[in-house]
Structure 1
């Protein structure tokens, strides 16, 4: 038996209420969790039939899900789509589409891309300039970016993909937040091109992260390989049912985008009134800057409000959308108390 390879440690992420409980044991309940980029307004799916739980999903059901995803994301052929139980579990498989080489991740960003690339043998570097990706064999760009909302133009991404393809490389574009991003800069519709693989996450926009569903958009050969690696029944029956209904419901999606824009504007107004600089983000999360960010994180946590700090910069926080007026009022009260304490 071979010795197991050393597995890179899983980095901290937002959304851990168990961790928040340990850090702030005296915080009032319930928690207001603003530490993720998950839509607080979940898709209102229909009651599920008992067979969604008692039977394995039929191949036709999964094929229909892929077709609905193709239509939603602007992909010409459903055969260009691989469906998996969350983008997270797909990452190491995607990184295996290329033999181990030099991987570069445009950073700061979601930490799991670098970890997954290292896990399968790539030498990984995090770069701060888009141009530095041209020297890599495998390049990763999150677009819009998490946590700052940075957007790279579609033509820049396609130019990079062509450059990498010419030398046998690959660009992985993670569009987890593109449902609330500028659609003109999505490369999902270009996913059949050589040198380009696109990731799409279902749970964030639809507010259903717990059902675990993600998609890889790629040329048909790569998509077929990924589906073969995943095997039959990679996506659970209840997930297939829920996601198929949601992806077909464009009225809900369009209404939700408008709602999120309004709620983001209201949140921006509140944050700005209390001295926080809106430095970026999307309509699912705001990226704010403050000289007092570390102290504010501690203060909010003690008030039962969880936001996301970052090790790469002690002066920034990511703040998700409050789910309702009660959560917004608690945030406002906590910010007012922080102002008074700092005065």
Structure 2
């Protein structure tokens, strides 16, 4: 039986209300950079009023459109990646599963609750912290012999590590030979499509999760997709049940997935904005890595940075598993200017 006393609340970005109360600054005066969501999301078209009245049509063409978009044989629509994470332990055999020490925080508790032995790893850029992990994930090394499953966020959130499809598939082959599975979370890969392995999910041993929230800026729609072999698709479909994605959300996401012109322009815009953010932060800190949607700064004084930036009305996400903080993209030139000005003041205050 689930024991509420044992529940662990996983912190996330987007908690601007908490920051507003803590620092006494009204919400409208903040620049929220605490998530990696595209601040210029897909322009939502008018929604058919009947979409609010009818039950969602699980048999529409949304999943076929998603499968074609991802180059996968099939796609299962779910209420965001979070819903898939809660279901995944039920479709995999129990055993040791590798989860990054610095990665999306919902995976470890979901599998621990289900009775899996979670082995925390660090990636090779953080190999100096090997004593704080079960193993170092490195393409040049074999996976630990007792590892049955592995969760890989590619590109990683928040550390921005990335792996080529060939590197990813090497890990998949090692796990498949043991009867295990590689789960690849591609929530941020839409802006870096060359990293995706979505087109390789037809066989056992590989599950890919895709998100609509980050690149398309539709986090509020709560839509994601599970890509896997036929057996996994059937099992997850049964666990998901009917009507998990609302009718209005289905219509908006369908339109966004078909709008290839918007996608191409957005990839170019995000690449430029992501590089601009990384270049700006590099003027204030030597340890910056980035994707088109966010930058990560490793720093033992991350809590001080977050606090001082917050006093200027700029909210960033702090991480403690490996000390550092993440910046999302400013939405406009005024926000860019405020961020740069605040960084200049904080740098002076911290004596850097």
Q: TM-score, normalised by structure 1?
A: 0.91
The partner residue of 1:69 within 45, 66, 69 is 66
Tell which deviates more after alignment, 153-162 or 248-257: 153-162
Deviation at 1:26, TM superposition (A): 4.0
Distance 1:174 1:124, change over 3 A: same
- Is 1:200 equivalent to 2:198 in the alignment? no
Residue 175 of structure 2 corresponds to which residue in structure 1?
164
Residue 60 of structure 1 corresponds to which residue in structure 2?
59
Deviation at 1:231, TM superposition (A): 1.6
The partner residue of 2:296 within 280, 287, 291 is 287
Deviation at 1:27, TM superposition (A): 6.5
- Separation in 2, partners of 1:204, 1:95: 24
Partner of 2:215, secondary structure, is: helix
The 5-angstrom pairing of residues 165-184 of structure 1 reads: 165-181=176-192, 183-184=193-194
Deviation at 1:313, TM superposition (A): 3.1
Residue 228 of structure 1 corresponds to which residue in structure 2?
238
Assess if the C-alpha contact under 8 Å between 2:151 and 2:182 holds in 1. Answer: yes
Residue 8 of structure 2 corresponds to which residue in structure 1?
9
Assess if the C-alpha contact under 8 Å between 2:78 and 2:224 holds in 1. Answer: yes
Assess if the C-alpha contact under 8 Å between 1:279 and 1:287 holds in 2. Answer: yes
- Separation in 2, partners of 1:253, 1:57: 26
Distance 1:228 1:313, change over 3 A: closer
- Separation in 1, partners of 2:348, 2:168: 46
- Separation in 2, partners of 1:9, 1:145: 22
Assess if the C-alpha contact under 8 Å between 2:63 and 2:77 holds in 1. Answer: yes
The partner residue of 1:101 within 77, 95, 101 is 95
For residues 124-175 of structure 1, give each alpha carbon's deviation from its aligned partner in whole angstroms, at most 9, with x where no partner exists.
Answer: 1211222445531121111110111111222222222222222221111111
- Separation in 2, partners of 1:65, 1:119: 32
Assess if the C-alpha contact under 8 Å between 2:13 and 2:35 holds in 1. Answer: yes
- Separation in 2, partners of 1:289, 1:226: 37
Distance 1:232 1:291, change over 3 A: closer
Distance 1:118 1:342, change over 3 A: closer
- Separation in 2, partners of 1:19, 1:28: 10
- Separation in 2, partners of 1:90, 1:249: 25
Distance 1:38 1:20, change over 3 A: same
- Separation in 2, partners of 1:93, 1:301: 36
Q: In angstroms, what is the RMSD of aligned CA positions?
A: 1.9
Deviation at 1:118, TM superposition (A): 1.1
Partner of 1:330, secondary structure, is: helix
Deviation at 1:226, TM superposition (A): 0.9
Unmatched tracts of structure 2, length 5 or more: 123-135
Partner of 2:64, secondary structure, is: helix
Distance 1:99 1:53, change over 3 A: same
- Separation in 1, partners of 2:350, 2:156: 32
Residue 23 of structure 2 corresponds to which residue in structure 1?
24
- Separation in 2, partners of 1:222, 1:65: 19
- Separation in 1, partners of 2:211, 2:342: 32
Partner of 2:152, secondary structure, is: strand
Deviation at 1:292, TM superposition (A): 4.9
Distance 1:40 1:73, change over 3 A: same
- Separation in 1, partners of 2:338, 2:90: 45
- Separation in 2, partners of 1:103, 1:289: 26
Deviation at 1:52, TM superposition (A): 1.1
Q: TM-score, normalised by structure 2?
A: 0.89
Distance 1:58 1:11, change over 3 A: closer
Distance 1:133 1:85, change over 3 A: farther
- Separation in 1, partners of 2:333, 2:260: 26
